[in-house]
């Protein structure tokens, strides 16, 4: 019996007509399967194209090549099993399926239900902070999940390859991979296929993954086109109803904050704004269109202008900059950087509560026309005997560039980091800076010495603020304060975007492991 590599998808419930599940069904040759063996249909397409390199080299040939072609055969095998339909893809057949017809994460769930957690070969994951980072981790030998360095509090699992548990190897073979589809390598004939798919359906419907991978339900990327369609509709309805509390704008990639002076909506010649603001953006949009729909949001650009040259630094579609949170079918959904994420309600509550428990400190309010640096200067003067470290960059061994110790250092050992709310990416930078500088104080002698030198330049005694060697720093005597200038009348646990809360929680855990105290401050705008 020959070993076959099978790429298996599960059709959504309600899909039973194969022709309705493919793009351009007329391009296929349709063959019915022998019902005595198995119930279903085979769809075959055949195409031939001239390779791109032929067109390239033809320019230099005395006689053009005409007989060189690539032949690509693709097929989709639709199989009926227990009132459900499976789809086996061959060649490029998967690309011809309609995206909304199959179950997303079918393969991933099946693998998690059956894989030996001590024998994982590869994991694809993503972390969403100020950008979404996709990672593939592989090991030379099958290894326990712990070897992959996953952070179960914020990693989104996307695909897994590994060896199934002993009891499933006869069914699934020695190695399985799961994402949307399930990839297996098994010895099989068409006469055995229905029995195999029945067993796979049973394995998919199990919840045994919760024994070792229960955390995957906390946070996942939503890829179901039908749900995304409904979420987009809800977003547009909320925008048209001016429910702006569910929205804000954020720069959707890594950037250098000091290089951006202003923003313009939808035309480089439009009025310039110093901050991204969803209310102002929609006001400008309504001047240009009578109807707001999601295509409108995708087709309109936001321009960022450089401080030095006043030229365009970057531009992004409005849709890519929108951060939106909503409830749908009893779950919380977040749109950020153009991707939708589903958050388990219990997990969302857990994260919110953890932020609520972080100690609050009171700082002076910020005038509405103040820049961040103006506020920091006023704060340092108001506290008294505080050192202003804002924009005073110090070389750090563990950072690629020079960083601030903090914005304001107080005599009672508060390291205050301040950021103006408005761009979730700057919040990510805020939390990262707080963590990196705290680590540097404990381990980087050069960083500590330069910080002390800066205190001396302010004609203060550095010993009142920082000891002269890293090993003398008692981290439990220092408090890292994350202070956010926020126009909202809600507490930070309710007003910050979910992924900012998640990032904050993770940084707080890390700082506490280093011995530091952590506090938060909501700075009101007046």
Using pLDDT thresholds of 50, 70 and 90, give the confidence band for residue 52.
low
For residues 426 and 257, is the Cβ–Cβ distance under 8 A? yes
Task: Specify the pLDDT at position 425.
Answer: 54
Q: Are strands 176-178 and 156-164 parallel, antiparallel or unpaired?
A: antiparallel
| Distances in whole angstroms, Cα of residue 122 to Cα of each of 110, 139, 373, 403 | 16, 7, 46, 35
pLDDT in tens, 200-218: 999 999 999 988 888 888 8
Give every strand in the sheet of 331-336, ordered side by side.
219-221, 339-343, 331-336, 322-328, 247-249
Model confidence at 167, pLDDT cuts 50, 70, 90, reads very high
Q: Does the pLDDT at position 1 exceed 80?
A: no
CA distance linking residue 323 with residue 339, whole number of Å: 10
Which 8-state DSSP code applies to residue 97?
B
Q: Over the stretch 371-424, which tens digit does the pLDDT of each residue have?
A: 889 999 999 999 988 999 998 888 877 666 788 899 999 999 999 999 987 644
Q: Which two tokens stand for residue 407?
A: 């914005």
Helices assigned H by DSSP within 118-272? 169-172, 190-205, 210-213, 225-240
Q: What is the mean pLDDT of residues 62-68?
A: 67
Count of all residues that appear for the chain in the document: 526
- Mean of the per-residue pLDDT values of the chain: 87
Q: CB-based burial of residue 91 (10 Å sphere; 0-12 exposed, 13-18 middle, 19+ buried)?
A: middle
Tokens representing 426 are: 């700057």
Average pLDDT rounded to a whole number, residues 21-29: 89
Selected residue with higher pLDDT from 10 and 27? 10
DSSP state of 469: S
Contact 415, 409 (CB under 8 A): yes
Distance, C-alpha 89 to centroid of its chain: 29
Q: What per-residue confidence (pLDDT) applies to 422?
A: 62
65 — pLDDT class (breaks 50, 70, 90):
low
DSSP state of 434: H
The pLDDT value given to residue 6: 92
Q: Which position has the token pair 């890390």?
A: 510
Tell me how far apart the alpha carbons of residues 251 and 314 are, in angstroms, rounded to a whole number: 10
| C-alpha distances in Å from residue 234, one per residue of 294, 327, 330, 345, 351 | 10, 10, 14, 19, 25
For 369-434, strand residue ranges (E) read 387-388, 393-394, 403-404, 408-409, 414-420
Q: What is the pTM of this model?
A: 0.73
Q: Which two tokens stand for residue 350?
A: 């857990």
d(CA 121, CA 137): 8
Element containing residue 508 per DSSP (H, E): helix 498-513
Over residues 296-316, mean pLDDT: 85
Residue 108 has φ and ψ, to the nearest 5°, of -65, -45
Largest CA distance in the chain: 93
As a dihedral over the C-alpha atoms of residue 262, residue 264, residue 268, residue 272, rounded to 10 degrees, the angle is -60
- Decide if pLDDT at 146 tops 90: no
CB 420 within 8 A of CB 426: yes
Number of C-beta neighbours around residue 359 at 10 A: 11
* End-to-end Cα, the chain, rounded Å: 77
Quick one: what percent of the chain has pLDDT higher than 90? 41
Question: What per-residue confidence (pLDDT) applies to 115?
Answer: 93
> CA geometry: angle at 311 spanning 305 and 315, to 5°?
50
For residue 150, count other CB atoms closer than 10 A to its CB.
18
In angstroms, rounded to a whole number, what is the distance separating the alpha carbons of residues 247 and 242? 10
Least confident segment among 242-251, 314-323, 344-353: 242-251
Cβ–Cβ contacts within 10 Å for residue 104, how many?
21
Average of per-residue pLDDT across 347-352: 92
**Structure confidence at residue 323 (pLDDT):** 85
């Amino acid at each position: 019996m020959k070993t076959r590599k099978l790429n298996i998808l599960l059709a959504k419930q309600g899909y039973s007509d194969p022709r309705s599940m493919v793009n351009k069904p007329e391009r296929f040759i349709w063959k019915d399967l022998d019902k005595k063996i198995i119930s279903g249909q085979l769809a075959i397409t055949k195409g031939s194209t001239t390779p791109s390199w032929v067109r390239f080299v033809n320019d230099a040939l005395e006689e053009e090549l005409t007989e060189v072609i690539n032949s690509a055969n693709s097929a989709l095998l639709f199989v009926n099993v227990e009132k459900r339909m499976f789809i086996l893809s061959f060649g490029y057949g998967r690309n011809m399926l309609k995206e909304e017809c199959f179950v997303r994460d079918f393969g991933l769930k099946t693998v998690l239900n059956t894989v030996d957690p001590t024998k994982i070969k590869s994991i694809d994951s993503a972390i969403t902070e100020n950008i979404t980072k996709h990672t593939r981790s592989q090991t030379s030998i099958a290894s326990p999940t712990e070897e992959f360095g996953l952070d179960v509090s914020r990693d989104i699992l996307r695909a897994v390859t590994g060896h199934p548990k002993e009891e499933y190897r006869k069914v699934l073979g020695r190695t399985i991979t799961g994402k949307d589809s399930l990839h297996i390598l098994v010895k099989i004939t068409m006469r055995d296929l229905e029995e195999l798919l029945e067993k796979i359906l049973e394995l998919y419907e199990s919840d045994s993954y919760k024994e070792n991978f229960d955390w995957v339900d906390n946070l996942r990327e939503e890829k179901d086109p039908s749900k995304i369609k409904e979420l987009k509709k809800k977003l547009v309805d909320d925008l048209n109803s001016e429910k702006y509390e569910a929205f804000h704008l954020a720069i959707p990639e890594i950037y250098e904050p000091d290089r951006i002076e202003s923003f313009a909506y939808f035309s480089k010649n439009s009025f310039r704004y110093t901050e991204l603001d969803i209310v102002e953006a929609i006001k400008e949009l309504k001047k240009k269109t009578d109807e707001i729909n999601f295509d409108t949001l995708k087709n309109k650009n936001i321009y960022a202008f450089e401080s030095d040259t006043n030229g365009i630094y970057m531009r992004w579609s409005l849709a890519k900059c929108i951060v939106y949170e909503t409830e749908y079918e009893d779950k919380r959904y977040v749109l950020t950087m153009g991707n939708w994420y589903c958050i388990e309600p219990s997990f969302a509550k857990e994260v919110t509560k953890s932020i609520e428990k972080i100690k609050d400190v009171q700082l002076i309010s910020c005038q509405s026309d103040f820049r961040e640096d103006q506020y920091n200067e006023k704060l340092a003067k108001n506290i008294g005997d505080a050192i202003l470290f804002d924009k005073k960059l110090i070389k750090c061994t563990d950072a690629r560039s020079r960083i601030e110790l903090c914005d304001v250092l107080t005599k009672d050992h508060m390291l205050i980091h301040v950021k103006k709310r408005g761009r979730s990416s700057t919040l990510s930078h805020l939390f990262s800076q707080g963590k990196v500088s705290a680590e540097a104080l404990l381990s980087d002698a050069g960083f500590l010495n330069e910080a002390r030198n800066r205190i001396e330049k302010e004609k203060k005694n550095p010993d009142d603020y920082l000891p002269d060697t890293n090993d003398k720093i008692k981290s439990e005597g220092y408090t890292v304060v994350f202070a956010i200038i926020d126009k909202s009348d809600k507490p930070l646990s309710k007003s910050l975007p979910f992924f900012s809360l998640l990032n904050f929680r993770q940084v707080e855990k890390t700082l506490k492991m280093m011995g530091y105290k952590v506090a938060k401050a909501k700075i009101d705008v007046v």
